[in-house]
Amino acid sequence: MAAGSAFAADGFRPLFNGKDLGGWKLRKEGGDKTWSVKDGILVNDVSGGKHGTDLVSEEKFRDFVLRYEYKIAKRANSGVYLRGRIEIQVLDDFERGTPTPGGNGAIYKIAPVAKFASKPADEWQTAEATIKGDKVTVILNGEKVHDNVTVDKATGGELDKNMDQPGPIMLQGDHGSISFRKIEIKELK
């Protein structure tokens, strides 16, 4: 690989550059601009009654591994959409202490996590989601919480229902404040 390449030795490349919103756009043109970059962190601030909008990658992907680190505010709710159609839930649910159908790391409306792995609000969490065909695997905070779960329909809030087509990464921005400090992807053949 050439010097200066954006690809790491393990084949991942950043989707968020740590400087600005380059490579991303608001889902709704003219929506509230609640997304910004502060000290290298992608921040969605919907405090004070603001209503945010989702942030969508300009690139589309078919089969891939997505790694991301996030910190969610107390009582906040968000999500990371694979192909813009399959939501991996992001939720402040640490105090529950047990998996629930819509809990943190769940494949929204499809499958709760197999093992509770949430951290408290305002702590950084790590996730790795793999999608190949209609199979999804998710590792949350080092624990495998989904293993090749079949997802053959959109989970709600999706951009479209074209399940067999490539799609963008979408960050849900209208339910609560959330921060990301790393978002990287490795496309699979």
Question: Tens of pLDDT along 62-80?
Answer: 999 999 999 999 999 999 9
Partner residues linked to 14 by β-bridges: 184
Burial class for 80, CB neighbours closer than 10 Å (0-12, 13-18, 19+): buried
How would residue 2 be classed by pLDDT, with cut points 50, 70 and 90?
very low
Q: Tens of pLDDT along 135-163?
A: 999 999 999 999 999 999 999 999 999 99
Q: For position 6, what pLDDT does the model report?
A: 62
Q: Which of 9-13, 21-25, 144-148, 183-187 has the lowest mean pLDDT?
A: 9-13
- Could you give the CA distance from residue 123 to residue 113 in angstroms, rounded to a whole number? 19
Determine phi and psi for 154, rounding to 5 degrees.
-65, 150
Q: How many residues does the chain have?
A: 189
Q: Which domains does the chain have, with CATH numbers?
A: 26-187 (2.60.120.560)
Q: For position 113, what pLDDT does the model report?
A: 98
Contacts of 91 (CB under 8 A, 6+ apart): 72, 76, 77, 78, 102, 103, 104, 106, 118
Per-residue pLDDT for 7 more than 70?
A: no
Q: Tens of pLDDT along 84-129?
A: 999 999 999 999 999 998 999 999 999 999 999 999 999 999 999 9
- Could you give the CA distance from residue 64 to residue 15 in angstroms, rounded to a whole number? 13
Higher pLDDT, 67 or 45: 67
Average pLDDT, the chain: 93
Give the residue-averaged pLDDT of 39-53. Answer: 87
> Alpha-carbon Rg of the chain, whole angstroms?
15
Confirm if 112 and 103 have CB atoms less than 8 A apart.
yes
In this structure, is the dihedral angle defined by the CA atoms of residues 52, 56, 62 and 64, taken in order, positive or negative? negative
Residue 12's alpha-carbon distances to 15, 39, 82, 125, in angstroms, are: 9, 22, 16, 19
Q: For position 80, what pLDDT does the model report?
A: 98
